[in-house]
Structure 1
Amino acid sequence: MEDLSEVYKSYANEVKRFLICLTYNVDLAEELTQETFYQAVKSIHRYNGECKMSVWLCQIAKHTYYNYLKKESRYQATSIENMMQMGEDIMSTVDLPDVELARRDNLISLHKEIHLLHEPYREIFLLRASINLSFKEIGEIFYKSENWARVTYYRAKLKLAERVQGDDYEL
């Protein structure tokens, strides 16, 4: 087993990015990343090496986030509000040309639509599109097959395309 500090250095940013995609809240993602590694240390004896360490940590992160949601009873509205606030913060701090503003508006609209997808479509889409996990890794996170992950991702793209007006986005 790798030294725990090396595991943290190697995977903390990836876990944090994964959690940012789920929460749309950088502060919450940082907090949940810490909790994820705490839970990983507590259950390191259960890691058997059958999947990549990053996949195992993302599984823990996902469960940590779901436990947080259960405790806080804030499932969808909070994440959308946080994402919208992040978008406003980014736009208010950077002087962007009109074309870039339009692109950012489209990205924000797209992220809103992604967040409105039902599970597991939303999470699978984010795992694949944001942190480039393979279908095999996504399947492992959900304890399903690679083919299941592939089909579910395809369905998520279809559902997202239906939701996005004008189909101006390349999915």
Structure 2
Amino acid sequence: MQRDPAFALLGLYESALPEVYGYLLSRCGNTTLAEELTSETFLGAVRACRKTGSPPVSVPWLIGVARHKLVDHWRRREREERNLRLVKQDEPEAVDPWEDEIDAIQARDTLARLGPHHRAALTLRYLDGLAVRDVAHLLDRTVHATEALLVRAKAAFRREHDQKEGSE
């Protein structure tokens, strides 16, 4: 009888849980969502490690699974919001310039107010430091579409940030 590969994950669970949860919480800023995505990450990891040819179970691999779960969440949210926008028939917004340095707390607060597609693109590109082509792959977009999304996302970030500063 062959041992279930998911047992390797069980041995790593206690040490990996805080790292996976911390990764997700730092990117989404919502404890409930981070807990749900952490749960989905470990359930997805169990399914994935049972497949033939799966990579060895490790914390970096689990962080990768968590990243995919977060991107999947943002995609679902984007589809939901896109459907709402179609109903409201919103107009596209103008692009503003982007500044390099913004306080981390304000940045997280501003990111939380953005749509999931903008939040996903900015988080993957600037917090995770992924190349545009990698962001495009994770978001299932072309590189050019991702570059345009990043421009719009930075503009939306700037507007949200400026609007919050103006109201204080």
Q: Give the secondary structure class of the aligned counterpart of 2:155.
A: helix
Letter in 1 for 2:40: E
Does 2:147 align with 1:150? yes
Question: Structure 1 CA distance, aligned partners of 2:132 and 2:73?
Answer: 22
**Contact 1:135–1:149 (Cα < 8 Å) also in 2:** yes
**Contact 1:19–1:32 (CA<8 Å) still a contact in 2?**
no
Matches within 5 A, 1:117-128: 117-128=114-125
- 1:39 and 1:128 mapped to 2: Cα distance? 24
Aligned-partner residue type, residue 47 of structure 2: K
Report the Cα distance in structure 1 between the residues aligned to 2:37 and 2:156, rounded to whole angstroms. 29
Task: Give distance in 1, aligned partners of 2:156 and 2:52.
Answer: 36
Match of 1:17 among 1, 19, 23: 23
Distance (Å, rounded) in 2 between the aligned partners of 1:66 and 1:133: 18
Paired positions, count: 126
Q: Alpha carbons of 1:160 and 1:55: their partners in 2 closer, same or farther (altered >3 Å)?
A: same
Distance in 2 between the 1:25 and 1:108 partners?
A: 13
| CA-CA distance at 1:116 after TM superposition | 1.2
- What letter is aligned with 2:23? R
Q: Which string of whole-angstrom CA distances, capped at 9 and with x for unpartnered residues, describes residues 100-127 of structure 1?
A: xxx99x5433322221111201121112
Superposition RMSD in Å: 4.1
CA contact under 8 A between 1:32 and 1:65: conserved in structure 2? no
Q: Deviation of residue 18 (structure 1)?
A: 4.0
SS in 2 for 1:164: helix
Q: Distance in 2 between matches of 1:109 and 1:15?
A: 21
2:34 to 22, 29, 44: 29
List, as ranges, runs of 4+ consecutive aligned residues in structure 1 with deviation greater than 3 Å: 3-10, 12-16, 25-28, 43-49, 53-57, 61-67
Percent sequence identity over matched residues? Answer: 19
Q: Which residue of 2 aligns with 1:159?
A: 156
Change (3 A) 1:152 1:64: closer
Higher mean alpha-carbon deviation, 40-49 vs 150-159, is at 40-49
Unaligned 5+ segments in structure 1 are 68-102
